[in-house]
Structure 1
Amino acid sequence: MGDAANIIVGTAGKAYRAEVGATFPTGPEEPWGADFSDMGFITPDGLEEALEEERTQLDAWGEDAPVVDLARKRTQTFKLVFRETNAFNLSLYYQVKLASMTSTAAATPKKQFLSFGSGSVTDTVEVALGLDVIMSGKRHRIMIARCGVSDREAVKHSSEESSNFGMTFTALAAPGGAQSVQHMITEVTLPVEPEPDPG
């Protein structure tokens, strides 16, 4: 029988970024470490997570169904639309490393400003990404050890909407053979598997 308590509606969420190799929290309700920076407000569309697989099926003589089904490649993507114009989002959207940006201090009457050139294809920006999906006490935490931006929405500058940065992150192989993506979800129980029949 179904249990409505198991339904998660992401009423709020946060995204955090850090340098690849940063240490993730060990639990879904622990605070993010000093290495992680809040990426700012996200549009109400929330997080769109997708998992795609490329598979190879092997047939056998006389069999009417495949005898082997192999996963060749698994691609996980995470799409978010950020409302804030900050250095972290600009770096990822334009593929410019923070170290390649210049901040010019304010000097009355001139305002402080950030300047950078368009990123080159060799100036790849990769980050560790932390995502929290939150609903009335429940939390689904997703930790991506290494990822890059694989798709970008057009930025619209108008009087009717904020200048948003829509980005799709693709999980990449993690350093040192670690798990590329790790999930932690509160209040989800693990069922007890029945013991195999020894007879």
Structure 2
Amino acid sequence: MGDAANIIVGTAGKAYAAEVGSTFPTGPEIAWGSDFADMGFITPDGLEEALEEERTQLDAWGEDAPVVDLAKKRTQTFKLVFRETTAQLLSLYYQVQFANMTSTAAAVGPPAKKQFISFGSGSTQDTVEIALGLDVLMSGKRHRIMIARCGVSDRGARKHSADDSSNYELTFTALAAPGGAQSVQHMITDVVLPTP
């Protein structure tokens, strides 16, 4: 018989970015370290997680079904739409390292000038990679996802209009983790393993 307590509805969530190689929390209820920066407001669409596999099947003489089915490649993606404009999101969207951005300070004038950031289009070799932390929250339950190393593999078009904020739709693809660690780790509260 089903148990409605096992249904997870992601009513809220947060995303955190850090440098690749940063240390993740050891439990889903432990606070994120100071090296993980909150990436700001996310649209109500929440998080879209996808897992795709490429498989190789081996046949055998006289058998009408494959005798071996091997996973050749597994690709995990995480799609979010961010509302705020920050240096972090500009860096990820336009693929520009912070070192290649310039911040010009405000001047009181006269004439007074506002602070501004400037950068050129990123080079295809100027790849921006981060460690990404995600929390999906619902009624005291937490699903924490930790991606040791990822990059932006797809971007939605940015719309500048009076109808909505100028959002950043980013799809992150998990990459091989440094040092042979797990590329993606999940921690989910209140899920019990069956006893053998």
Band of TM-score, shorter chain: over 0.9
Match in the other structure for 1:177 = 180
Letter in 1 for 2:150: C
Matched, 1:156 2:143: no
Matched, 1:128 2:136: no
Distance 1:139 1:158 in 2: 35
The number of residue pairs the alignment matches comes to 193
Matched, 1:81 2:76: no
- What's the offset of the Cα at 1:66? 0.7
The SS at the match of 2:24 is coil
1:188 to 181, 186, 191: 191
Distance 2:51 2:124 in 1: 26
- What's the offset of the Cα at 1:30? 0.5
Letter in 1 for 2:146: M
Q: Note the 1:27-176 alignment, pairs <5 A.
A: 27-108=27-108, 109-176=112-179
- Post-superposition Cα deviations, 1:123-161, rounded to whole Å, max 9, x if no partner, equal 100000000000010000000000000000000000111
Distance 1:88 1:186 in 2: 29
Q: Percent identity of the aligned residues? A: 83
- Post-superposition Cα deviations, 1:42-86, rounded to whole Å, max 9, x if no partner, equal 000000000000000111111111110000000000000000000
Letter in 2 for 1:117: G
Letter in 2 for 1:47: L
- What's the offset of the Cα at 1:100? 1.3
- Post-superposition Cα deviations, 1:11-33, rounded to whole Å, max 9, x if no partner, equal 00000000000000000011000
- Post-superposition Cα deviations, 1:69-125, rounded to whole Å, max 9, x if no partner, equal 000000000000000000000000000011211111111211111111110001100
Letter in 2 for 1:98: F
Distance 2:15 2:104 in 1: 27
- What's the offset of the Cα at 1:182? 0.2
Consecutive unaligned residues in structure 1, runs of 5 or more: 194-199
Runs of 4+ in 1 over 4 A off after TM superposition: none
Distance 1:121 1:161 in 2: 30
Q: Note the 1:10-29 alignment, pairs <5 A.
A: 10-29=10-29
Match in the other structure for 1:197 = none
The SS at the match of 2:150 is strand
